[in-house]
Chain A
Amino acid sequence: MSTELSNEWRAGFLARLSAGETVVLAAIAMIALGGTLVAAKGVYMKAKAELSQVLLQRSFAAEMRGETATKPWPWADFTTEAEISAPRLGQKAIVLSGASGEALAFGPAHLLSTPQPGDAGTAVIAAHRDTHFRWLKDVKPGDLIVVTRKDGRKLTFRADAGRIARWDESGIDANADGHNLALATCWPFDATTRGPMRYIVTAELVVADPIVTGAVPASRSDIAEKSSDNPLAQN
């Protein structure tokens, strides 16, 4: 009898609901759906950040080969500028031009108001704390940061201690003496809200390889190889 009843109960389940119950059930369904959508949006943002790096690697490799005006995809509002890596941490990412919110969704971005990494002054590269610069908190003073520019120059910087500053009081002077690099991301690292504080790691140029003219197949393939394993996937 009980199975019979339960079958019948199931069959006529919706029909038997009172108006109030339908509303409650609908509300529950909507919360579940909304939750799924919101979570999916978050997952999508992360997935976009990780997966796009593959396309960016391709575009950057093309730029390294000397192709000009290579946009990662036709409707992108940025170009690839450089590749940044932290050898000790085994991290690597393609740097984009112009730190618009759009560019930052896909990769670390070089602030256009600052000089190119390796040029006189302080170049600033910013990235999201929960994706591309998740490793910034692990950078220790003395760590090497390697930036490969699209003109083929490979620049090695030595990191200094990190500090925390407000976004509008960064204390970073783009025209400062020397050849400096500042990496910035949001702080605190594990917060889920947006805040005005930034974590800044400054680094000083130690080695600057000259511009590599012509193809250097070994290093290129090296880059291409490493690009396949996304540095941030493990996080």
Chain B
Amino acid sequence: MSLDAQLARTQPSRGNFNLGVAFALMALSLSFLMLAGLFVRAFAETPPARETMPSLVRPNDMGTGALLFPSSQPGYFVEAPRLATDVEIDVTGPIMRTRVTQRFQNPSKGWVEGTYVFPLPEDSAVDVLKMQIGDRFIEGEIKLREEARQIYEDAKAEGKKTALLEQQRPNIFTNQVANIGPGETIVVQIEYQSSVHQSDGAFSFRFPMVVAPRYNPQPIVQTVDLDGSTGYAVGDPVPDRDKIEAPVLDPAKNARINPVKLTIKLDAGFPIGALTSPFHEINVKDNGDTGRLITLKADSVPADRDFELNWKVAAGKTPQAGLFRETIAGKTYLLGFVTPPSEAGANEEKPHREVIFVIDNSGSMSGTSIEQAKESLALAISRLGPNDKFNVIRFDDTMTVYFPSPVQATPDKREQAIAYVRGLTADGGTEMLPALQAALSAQGPVAKDALRQVVFLTDGAIGNEAQLFEEIAGNRGDARVFTVGIGSAPNSHFMTKAAEIGRGTFTLIGSEDQIAARMGELFAKLENPAMTNIAANFDEKTVRDISPDPMPDLYRGEPVVLTAVLDSTAPKGMLRISGDAGRQPWQIAIDVAKASEGKGIAKLWARRQIDDIEATAYSAADPASVDKKIEEVALAHHLVSRVTSLVAVDVTPSRPNDEPLGSAKVPLNLPAGWDFDKVFGEEGTGGATQRAQLAPAPEAEMVADMMAAAPTARAAGMIAQAAKPVALPQTATLADRYILIGLLMIAIAAMASVAFGIWRWQMQGLATANAGTRYEH
């Protein structure tokens, strides 16, 4: 055949070949691109934009007392305009009594039910509630919770002004106020008793004054940290917390919007040295050696800080001990505090420790929880010294004790244990009891002078709490049980109590970035107990209910603070407190007869008593008996508690039905102590009125606009509870997605195979053509 003919034959085939190759290559690369695109799409999820909710608050955000009205957005509330706040704090020795009076306004044109939310220090005993709504004066009476709610609901239905003060959590109280008229002013006054905080020889207290954050209108980008294997969203319950703008108010403007008058009468009981308020500017007036009168400097209230006051003793040494008493109804209530000398045990070498680590690797821990637990545990093991002994126990529905008995923490053993821990996976059920038994009673006797510590890492997802508490109480021996709560929603109730019974502490690790800091605090405690085996004894035989019981270990700089009650009015004898500072025993004796008088100790005692009863609730046969005990104490001391509430009783005669509101002014016969204008002072009243006029009308109108027009009892109940809304778990599986991705991948593979086939076929064609050409030659 001629060259031309050959060319003519090969040419088109080559053209075909090129086209085919190009097509095949294109198809292949397209498949890969699509595949890549698929994965890129899969991993780059668009973060959803947060809905904008200007000026709305949630009860949990309240850092200071505030009156909330339900808003038209479910779950959100608007704050009633606060016209004035007056705070009076009387500090006598270690006890303080706080009276907060606040004036609010209903800016709407309708009748509303509001909820007054106020956070308080954990140990506060709330006992007085007084309110003025419009022309009605109302005082709270202590009643059983259910009974109080019934009285409130009835009064509300009848259109009466009424108020109900309930404890929601030990440090959050709410006060529901019904039937607030249009434009009416509400004055709320609460009083509570609490104790002064002591640490490292310094005395201090905090008063909550943080203004709740406003949800700013800028969209906030949020991502939820999802766990691939469990589908659980884990993370900060308020994601992007830092992006919720702190209200930065111009102090002068804030003072106008939220004027606070703070007066502190301080009677320290010893010559006062340095007196500081770290966050607020104060005026100090001397009142003798031991007394001070402190007021806030005008126009200097930053909105984002609690008020804090610190004071120290003038010269010489901090009082090592103090004892105060109050006699009520033939009983003497005692409050004592002792700071162990900080030198005690300072020269001692660190005690040897025997640490038993228990890690929960059950199914409920899967995901980020187990990772956090593993990391925390690895950190803890690496911190052990060569003189310490340790062992590791892991459990799900089965259990493994890693070393047959505790081993010396040599670098080898530590590495070995860490490697074991890192290899753990979370699966199976949660059978905690055998692991606890193994940790408490199967680890051999404690070496002389050694400290046995059991560190328990779990999410506490168990049902047999009572059994576990009994196990700890019965078999703890000399061991201290420290619990570490892992994950976003660990059972902190269980772990706090387990640590309390085990005379240890509870550490909560909510997220990855907290591990280092929180575990660091725990290590400091594990490694340096300042004083152990503390016991308090009275010579007097009638002393009852010494609290806390058992006495917790002390860490550096902390005082022992105890309360007790005696059945006599003239106590005699000594109070002896003893403990071990390292290997050195320590004891102090205080003459009870020389205790100085202090007001409000009975209330503090009662509050502690309630805490103690709650703490032993696990061992009570039936929960009703626990409630009954709390009820007795709370009613006797007029305290708000979990089972008792203050319910308001209208003390002014109600308006006759036939007379329209406004036309008949009921003459006001003020009960003594009810003149709130006096509380606020002439200037205050004038100021308030002036402020009310000055208050920018649009602002009040905005609040009125956002208020739900007619809040139902249910809506009011929602805020009243001030509870955190239930966080819902992740309820989407990736099953559909997997199936989709899988099918797409199969389709892509099929396409690629076809493309490959075409390519091969073309190659085949070329080869045949070439062969043909050769043949024909």
Contacts and interface: CB of A to CB of B under 8 A. Distances in A.
A42 B726 contact: no
A139 interface: no
Contacts of A98: 364, 461
Interface string A170-206: 1111111110001011100001111111101000000
B366 interface: yes
B425 to A, nearest CB: 13
Contacts of B364: 77, 98, 100, 102
Interface of B: 28, 31, 35, 45, 48, 50, 74-75, 222, 224, 226-227, 229-233, 237-239, 362-364, 366-367, 396-397, 427-430, 461, 489, 713-714, 717-718, 721, 723, 725-750, 752-753, 756, 760, 764, 768
B731 A104 contact: yes
Given A9-B764, A35-B749, A129-B732, A113 B742 contact: no
A197 B730 CA distance: 9
Contact of B735 (A35, A122, A130, A186): A130
Nearest to B42: A193
A137 B28 CA distance: 42
A81 B748 CA distance: 45
Given A42-B739, A177-B713, A195 B745 contact: no
Question: Which 6 pairs, one residue from A and one from B, show the smallest C-beta to C-beta distance?
Answer: A39-B742, A101-B230, A35-B745, A42-B738, A171-B75, A42-B739
A99 B726 CA distance: 12
B718 A173 contact: yes
Given A168-B237, A173-B718, A128 B752 contact: no
A169 B743 CA distance: 36
A168 B239 contact: yes
A101 B736 contact: no
A24 interface: yes
A186 B224 CA distance: 13
A34 B733 CA distance: 19
Given A98-B461, A176-B714, A168 B230 contact: no
30 contacts: A24-B752, A25-B756, A28-B752, A31-B745, A32-B745, A35-B741, A35-B748, A39-B739, A39-B742, A43-B735, A75-B427, A75-B428, A76-B429, A77-B430, A100-B363, A100-B729, A101-B730, A111-B729, A126-B728, A127-B731, A130-B735, A165-B74, A168-B238, A168-B725, A170-B725, A172-B728, A176-B714, A176-B721, A177-B713, A200-B728
Interface of A: 5, 9, 21, 24-25, 27-29, 31-32, 34-43, 45-46, 49, 71, 74-77, 98-102, 104-105, 109, 111-114, 122, 124, 126-131, 133, 163, 165-178, 182, 184-186, 191-198, 200
A37 B738 CA distance: 9
Given A101-B230, A104-B231, A192 B736 contact: yes
B231 A101 contact: yes
A171 B74 contact: yes
A100 to B, nearest CB: 4
B732 A128 contact: yes
A49 B461 CA distance: 22
A182 B728 CA distance: 11
Nearest to A124: B726
Contacts of B397: 74-75, 77
A41 B713 CA distance: 48
Contacts of A39: 738-739, 741-743, 745-746
A170 B726 contact: yes
A177 B156 CA distance: 15
A170 B366 contact: no
A129 B736 CA distance: 11
Contacts, number: 233
Contacts of B48: 195-197
Nearest to A189: B732
B230 A100 contact: yes
Nearest to B749: A32
- Most chain B Cβ neighbours within 10 Å, of A36, A39, A105: A39
A169 B60 CA distance: 12
Nearest to B50: A166
Given A32-B750, A173-B717, A194-B45, 16 more contacts: A5-B768, A28-B749, A28-B756, A29-B749, A31-B749, A34-B745, A38-B741, A39-B745, A45-B734, A75-B363, A75-B397, A77-B397, A77-B430, A169-B75, A175-B721, A196-B233
A21 to B, nearest CB: 8
A172 B713 CA distance: 15
A99 B729 contact: yes
Contacts of A32: 745-746, 749-750, 753
Contacts of B231: 101, 104-105, 194
A45 B725 contact: no
B738 A100 contact: no
A79 B744 CA distance: 38
B731 A185 contact: yes
Nearest to A172: B726
B742 A38 contact: yes
A35 B367 contact: no
B224 A36 contact: no
Contacts of B749: 28-29, 31-32, 35
Contacts of B740: 42, 192
A184 B731 contact: yes
A164 to B, nearest CB: 10
Contacts of A131: 733, 735
Given A35-B743, A133-B731, A170-B727, A113 B427 contact: no
Contacts of A109: 729
A178 B732 CA distance: 29
- Most chain B Cβ neighbours within 10 Å, of A25, A42, A77, A131: A77
Nearest to A39: B742
B726 A113 contact: yes
Contacts of A41: 735, 738, 742
B728 A167 contact: yes
B646 to A, nearest CB: 18
Contacts of A195: 45, 48, 224, 732
Nearest to A178: B714
B746 A35 contact: yes
B726 A174 contact: yes
Contact of A194 (B237, B732, B744): B732
A186 B729 CA distance: 9
B578 to A, nearest CB: 42
Contacts of B741: 35, 38-39, 42
A167 B743 contact: no
Contacts of B31: 31
A193 B714 CA distance: 34
A22 to B, nearest CB: 11
B726 A31 contact: no
Nearest to A175: B721
Contacts of A49: 733, 735
A42 B730 contact: no
